[in-house]
């Protein structure tokens, strides 16, 4: 298996300097940009985006996708300002040199009609830009389980899928079953694993069947999304009580590195980590 790695580096550091350092330390060449210097990506100015682009270029790094929050509002919330913010993010994507924007399918409804109406508004706004819009399965939104995601993609074939195994597990969805339904629509994957109780663990340590999924995946890029537990008092606790806490890390940078290394273990064939 050979892939290019991207990551949500805001889980390693809040500031861009720390994010760049974490990516370089771990051999991650692409950023799924979600938060920088305390701002969500959809809130930054075009000037700030140009600064980010310059610094990433200087570091030999690139942006794979905007990890935006679009579609993470209630279906009854005012959509107009949300759509305006999306249109601004199309400009940001162009400045940052990415062709992907991540989005969601709204909270608070089991009715696909208004979901498709709003998702189609995003698609219409993006027409002619060359930007690929990608729907992520997420607990609590309309497209939480595979069958509902499939309805979205059949109705809006321009909209591609981001496959997140941990999110499916947290919704009680079998990941192999989800893959069989959604694989024709998958643009890329978020690498996140979880136990049946919903707790997030390093890739390959949960119920997500990551080795099997990666053996089936025909794409080029994988985005690491750590979501691992950070316990800053870990070293002191271990020293005082000789206690080893499973899958808990002393700081965000360590958790980020553990998530990347777990994925590299799978790619390299070392499934036991």
CA–CA separation, 183 and 216 (whole Å): 9
Residue 38: C-alpha distances to residues 13, 178, 261 (Å): 10, 34, 26
Length of the chain: 273
CA–CA separation, 176 and 208 (whole Å): 8
Question: Coil, strand or helix: which one is 49?
Answer: helix
Placement of tokens 């979600």 in the chain? 34
Name the percent of the chain lying above pLDDT 90: 90
**Which residue from 264, 236, 234, 265 is spatially nearest to 247, judged by alpha carbons?**
234
Residue 29 near residue 92 (C-beta atoms within 8 A): no
Q: How many CB atoms lie within 10 A of CB 13?
A: 20
pLDDT tens-digit map of 85-109: 999 999 999 999 999 999 999 999 9
CA–CA separation, 254 and 257 (whole Å): 5
Name the percent of the chain lying above pLDDT 70: 92
Name the least confident of 28-32, 154-158, 247-251.
Answer: 247-251
pLDDT at residue 234 in the model: 46
Q: Percent helix, strand and coil across the chain, each rounded to 5?
A: 45, 20, 35
pTM of the model: 0.93
DSSP classification of residue 269? T
Give CA 193 to chain center in angstroms.
12
Tokens of 28: 């991650």
pLDDT tens-digit map of 108-145: 999 999 999 999 999 999 999 999 999 999 999 999 99
**Mean pLDDT of all residues belonging to the chain:** 93
Residue 131: C-alpha distances to residues 31, 36, 145, 270 (Å): 16, 21, 25, 35
Q: What domains can you pick out in the chain, each with its CATH number?
A: 4-267 (3.20.20.150)
pLDDT at residue 246 in the model: 64
């Amino acid at each position: 298996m050979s892939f290019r790695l991207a990551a949500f580096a805001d889980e390693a550091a809040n500031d861009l300097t720390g994010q760049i350092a974490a990516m370089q330390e771990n051999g991650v060449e692409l950023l799924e940009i979600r938060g920088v210097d305390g701002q969500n990506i959809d809130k930054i100015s075009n000037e700030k985006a140009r600064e980010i682009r310059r610094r990433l270029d200087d570091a030999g790094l690139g942006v794979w996708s905007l990890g935006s929050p679009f579609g993470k509002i209630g279906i009854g919330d005012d959509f107009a300002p949300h759509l305006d913010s999306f249109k601004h993010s199309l400009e940001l994507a162009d400045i940052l040199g990415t062709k992907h924007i991540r989005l969601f399918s709204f909270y608070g409804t089991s009715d696909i009609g208004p979901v498709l109406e709003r998702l189609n508004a995003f698609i219409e706004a993006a027409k002619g830009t060359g930007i690929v819009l990608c729907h992520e399965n997420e607990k609590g939104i309309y497209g939480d389980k595979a069958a509902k995601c499939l309805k979205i993609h059949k109705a809006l074939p321009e909209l591609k899928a981001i496959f997140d195994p941990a999110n499916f597990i947290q919704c009680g969805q079998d990941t192999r079953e989800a893959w069989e339904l959604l694989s024709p629509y998958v643009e890329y994957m978020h690498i996140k694993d979880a136990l049946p109780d919903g707790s997030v663990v390093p890739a390959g340590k949960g119920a997500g069947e990551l080795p099997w999924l990666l053996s089936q995946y025909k794409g080029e890029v994988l985005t690491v999304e750590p979501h691992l537990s950070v316990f800053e008092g870990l070293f002191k606790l271990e020293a005082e009580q000789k206690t080893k806490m499973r899958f808990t890390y002393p700081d965000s940078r360590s958790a980020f590195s553990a998530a990347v290394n777990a994925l590299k273990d799978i790619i390299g064939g070392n499934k036991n980590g």
